[in-house]
Structures are given as structure tokens and as C-alpha cells.
């Protein structure tokens, strides 16, 4: 019995030491699976990544010590997508490559032209926030790789938000279902710009009188990284301004 109390006391001292607790918590989320180009957000790897983040964020609701440690730790904030991580050495949206030859430059300049990414390119791909992918599956949040000929060898991400699916994050937070998700970054490194376009199928043979075809002021930017709450508020205003628009597609700039 005394040995058990001593073991518990040692464990409590360990978790009460902020530096040790930080290392332990960082280790728990240090092995997130890399996600492949165009990978379905419903994949097992994405779900497993989300589960690790979800469990740790839940701890902030039931343990004041862990909550204080996470809120005070820059590395933990970045690992949990609660703060922008600009210092990722390998993962990035844009990759430095030699200028293409005139022949290859003329192959295609269309944004939808893609080439199969190499393993090294995927290794450098941004890490999307798996909680956003799993909590909002209707967004189809994913990324793909654009070829050097298209736009200079970079990764592009997109998500689709419909009017009926736009959640009230304030309500989610009040019911303790928010999990601080409104404060979360979309990716590591941070996503700093999104361009909005109308996303819906229309009969091209019909004439739409008074319908919206182009969204005004359709680019949002934040060098510190766009958060889910900021994007939801911005898209909500777009839906208010364009009542006939049912869905908006957001693509990284």
C-alpha cells in the first residue's frame, strides 16, 4: 500500500512539473500520420490523427493543470493547431525549384493541371488539421499538388462550405462541443490566404436573371494564419450578402 502511494506521489510530481508534462504531451502527438495527395478526409489515418488531438484537447476541459500547461506552452499550442507554426523546416505550401524551361512552361498554365507528386514532395506537404477534417466532413477539406508547369510547384488546399452546414461556433462552445475549434489553424504551416468562388451546379442552358455569378471582395488574408472561427464569420457574411448562393468553395491563394 505504501509503495502504491509512493508511486502515485512520484507520478503527481512528474505531471506537476511543467517542463516534464510539456515533453510528455508533445510526445503523444508527435507521430501524426502524413496525409497523401488528395487523400479522402474520411481515411483511417486522418481519423487516427484527429483522435490524438481530440483526446488531448478534452484534457483541457477536465484538468486545470494540463489546461494551464497547454495554454502556456508555445510548442504545444503549435502542435495542437492553436497557434500558427511558421517555423516548419520541411513542410510548406510553396517549394523552391529551378525555373522551368520555355518548352515546359508552355505545356499548361491552367490551375487544374496536376502531376503525380513524388514521395519527397509529399513528405514536404503541409499537415492539414485533422480535427477540422473530421468534425466537418461535408467541407471535403483536402490538398493536392500543382505541377511546376502550372503554378511553380506548390500545394493547394480547398474546402466547401454550404449555407445549411455553416455551424454556429459560439453555440458549440457554450455546449462544450467547441473544443476550442474556432481558434484552430487550418494547417501547419499556417494557411494565410483563401479565395472564395461560388460552388453549385447550374443548368447552362437557362438564363439566370438577377443571380450571382461572381463574389465581390472574395479574398481573405491573414499573415498570422487563418482560423476556423475567422473563416466561418467571413463566409457567414458572404452568405448574408449573396442570398442566392448556396455553397462557397475556398481555395488557397
**What is the predicted pLDDT for the residue at 184?**
93
Query: What distance in Å separates the CA atoms of residue 121 and residue 95, rounded to the nearest whole number?
Result: 9
Query: φ and ψ at 3, to 5 degrees?
Result: -65, -40
| Sheet-wide strand order for 193-198 | 142-146, 154-162, 247-252, 193-198, 219-221
Predicted confidence at residue 28, as pLDDT, reads 86
**Residue 95 neighbours by CB distance under 10 Å:** 15
Q: What local confidence, expressed as pLDDT, does residue 64 receive?
A: 82
What CA–CA distances, in Å, run from 239 to 121, 164, 196?
36, 10, 11
- pLDDT value of position 231: 95
Q: Cβ atoms within 10 A of the Cβ of 4, count?
A: 8
Residue 239's pLDDT is 92
Strands (DSSP E) contained in the chain are 127-128, 142-146, 154-162, 187-188, 193-198, 219-221, 247-252
Work out whether strand 193-198 and strand 219-221 pair parallel, antiparallel, or are unpaired: antiparallel
Per-residue pLDDT, 113 = 40
In degrees, to the nearest 5, what angle opens at C-alpha 195 toward C-alphas 184 and 168? 45
Q: Which residues contact 69 (CB under 8 A, 6 or more apart)?
A: 18, 21, 22, 25, 76
Question: pLDDT means per 10 residues in the chain (253 residues)?
Answer: 61 79 88 79 90 86 83 92 80 54 41 45 74 90 74 80 82 71 92 92 58 89 94 93 91 91
The three-state secondary structure class of 119 is helix
pLDDT of res. 94: 62
The predicted structure's pLDDT at residue 2: 57
Torsions phi, psi for 171 (to 5 deg): -65, -40
Amino acid at each position: 500500500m505504501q509503495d502504491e502511494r509512493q508511486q502515485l506521489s512520484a507520478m503527481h510530481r512528474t505531471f506537476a512539473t511543467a517542463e516534464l508534462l510539456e515533453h510528455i504531451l508533445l510526445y503523444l502527438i508527435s507521430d501524426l500520420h502524413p496525409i497523401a495527395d488528395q487523400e479522402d478526409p474520411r481515411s483511417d489515418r486522418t481519423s487516427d490523427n484527429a483522435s490524438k488531438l481530440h483526446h488531448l484537447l478534452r484534457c483541457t476541459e477536465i484538468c486545470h493543470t494540463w489546461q494551464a500547461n497547454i495554454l502556456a506552452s508555445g510548442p504545444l499550442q503549435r502542435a495542437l493547431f492553436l497557434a500558427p507554426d511558421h517555423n516548419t523546416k520541411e513542410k510548406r505550401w510553396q517549394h523552391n525549384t529551378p525555373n522551368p524551361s520555355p518548352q515546359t512552361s508552355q505545356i499548361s498554365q491552367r490551375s487544374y493541371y496536376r502531376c503525380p507528386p513524388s514521395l519527397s514532395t509529399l513528405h514536404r506537404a503541409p499537415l492539414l488539421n485533422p480535427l477540422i477534417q473530421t468534425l466537418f466532413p461535408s467541407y471535403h477539406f483536402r490538398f493536392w499538388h500543382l505541377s511546376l508547369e502550372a503554378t511553380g510547384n506548390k500545394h493547394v488546399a480547398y474546402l466547401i462550405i454550404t449555407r445549411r452546414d455553416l455551424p454556429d461556433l459560439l453555440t458549440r462552445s457554450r455546449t462544450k462541443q467547441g473544443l476550442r475549434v474556432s481558434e484552430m489553424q487550418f494547417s501547419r504551416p499556417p494557411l494565410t490566404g483563401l479565395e472564395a468562388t461560388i460552388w453549385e451546379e447550374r443548368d447552362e442552358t437557362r438564363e439566370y436573371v438577377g443571380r450571382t455569378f461572381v463574389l465581390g471582395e472574395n479574398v481573405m488574408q491573414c499573415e498570422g494564419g487563418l482560423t476556423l472561427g475567422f473563416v466561418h464569420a467571413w463566409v457567414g457574411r458572404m452568405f448574408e450578402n449573396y442570398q442566392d448562393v448556396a455553397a462557397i468553395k475556398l481555395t488557397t491563394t
